[in-house]
Amino acid sequence: MKRLLVVDDEPHVARVLRVSLVKDGWSVEVACNGHEALQAIATNPPDVMITDIQMPGMGGEELCRQLRSTPPARPFPILVMTSMTARDQRSWAQELGGIEFLEKPVSPRRVAAILTQLIAREKNNA
């Protein structure tokens, strides 16, 4: 079973993703901010991570920077959720590279399709 880590301080977002993606055979873990995410990644790195940007404590940008500066043993694709209106706030992620965007409100179907693509791409690269 593929494991997805959702990092978001709004529980409903994570829950919506969980109930929709469980049907497609994903197991979904939830972290409320960057710190919790780093802990979860240290104990058991996921196959994919989806993260919000604005969160109390450590936000999505800092989380991604930390993951780039000290990469986990097994790297994984990262999706960042942004609002449609905040397109201009993406430059940091483009600098870091290898980060894809999801526009909020997220459509679980689209997420499922994107995850499938990402996994297929990873497989091809491996």
Whose Cβ is closer to another protein: residue 25's or residue 97's?
Answer: 25
Alpha carbons 52 and 80: distance in angstroms, whole number: 6
118: how many CB neighbours lie within 10 A of its CB?
18
Residue 36 binds another protein, judged by CB under 8 A: yes
Whose Cβ is closer to another protein: residue 85's or residue 98's?
Answer: 85
Residue 109 binds another protein, judged by CB under 8 A: yes
Q: What is the DSSP letter of 118?
A: H
Question: Length of the chain in residues, anyone?
Answer: 126
Residue 106 binds another protein, judged by CB under 8 A: yes
Backbone torsions φ then ψ of 54, nearest 5 degrees: -90, 115
Whose Cβ is closer to another protein: residue 78's or residue 111's?
Answer: 111
Query: Measured from the CB of residue 104, what is the shortest distance to another protein in angstroms?
Result: 10
